[in-house]
């Protein structure tokens, strides 16, 4: 009697483990949204950008490009895995605004010098705070410099 009870417990535990493994496998397969999309919002690949924050607003606005022209957003599916749109799922003329804020390096053109030796060590690099807004699901970005202080100095 005791042997059968242990066998049932072992059998149910292995069935539960197999079921949880299958659920994990299928949930990862069906949750894949395709390859990761990377956008260079700052448009300064040679300069360093840091402290980025990405936010999606909780309301909808008419979909427009960065220059203000209306746009129709089309959403399609890649059915065969070749990263090409195979089937148009739906289209709409509204989107949730996306907002990105970040620090971006700016060169002011003046050289930076070593205090001890007086040797030139490279360009003087400052950082400005930028914000970028997209009204078309991240296809185009309108940027604005929030600080405009990189070329100004506190030493006058």
Total count of residues recorded for the chain: 156
DSSP the chain: -HHHHHHHHHHHHHHHHHHHHHHHHHHHHHT--SSPP---SS--TTS-EEEEEEEE-SS-EE-B-TTS-B--EEEEE-SSSSSS--EEEEEESEE--EEEEEEEEEEEEEEEE-TTT--EEEEEEEEEEEEEEESSTTSS-EEEES---TT--S--
Q: Does the structure show a pLDDT above 90 at 58? A: yes
Q: Is 122 exposed, middle or buried (0-12, 13-18, 19+ CB in 10 A)?
A: exposed
For residue 54, the model assigns a pLDDT of 87
Grade residue 114 by pLDDT with cuts at 50, 70 and 90: low
68 or 122: whose pLDDT is higher? 68
- Percent of the chain predicted with pLDDT > 90: 18
Q: Does the structure show a pLDDT above 60 at 117? A: yes
Predicted confidence (pLDDT) per residue in 67-94, tens digit: 999 999 888 877 776 767 777 888 899 9
Distance of CA 41 to the CA centre of its chain: 9
Tokens 């066998």 sit on residue: 7
Distance of CA 59 to the CA centre of its chain: 19
Whether the predicted model's global pTM rises above the 0.85 cut: no
> According to the per-residue pLDDT averaged within each range, which of 32-36, 111-115, 138-142, 145-149 is highest?
138-142
25 or 52: whose pLDDT is higher? 52
Grade residue 38 by pLDDT with cuts at 50, 70 and 90: low
């Amino acid at each position: 009697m005791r042997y059968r009870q242990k066998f049932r417990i072992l059998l149910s535990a292995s069935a539960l483990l197999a079921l949880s493994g299958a659920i994990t496998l299928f949930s990862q397969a069906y949750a894949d949204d395709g390859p990761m999309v990377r956008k260079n919002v700052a448009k300064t690949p040679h300069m360093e950008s840091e402290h980025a924050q990405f936010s999606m607003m909780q309301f909808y606005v008419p979909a427009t490009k960065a220059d203000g022209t209306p746009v129709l957003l089309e959403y399609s599916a890649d059915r065969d895995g070749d990263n090409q749109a195979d089937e148009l799922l739906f289209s709409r003329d509204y989107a949730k605004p996306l907002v990105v804020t970040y620090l971006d390096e700016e060169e002011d053109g003046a050289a930076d010098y070593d205090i001890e030796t007086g040797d030139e060590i490279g360009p003087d690099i400052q950082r400005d705070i930028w914000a970028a807004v997209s009204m078309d699901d991240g296809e185009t970005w309108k940027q604005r410099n929030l600080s405009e202080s990189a070329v100004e100095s506190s030493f006058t």
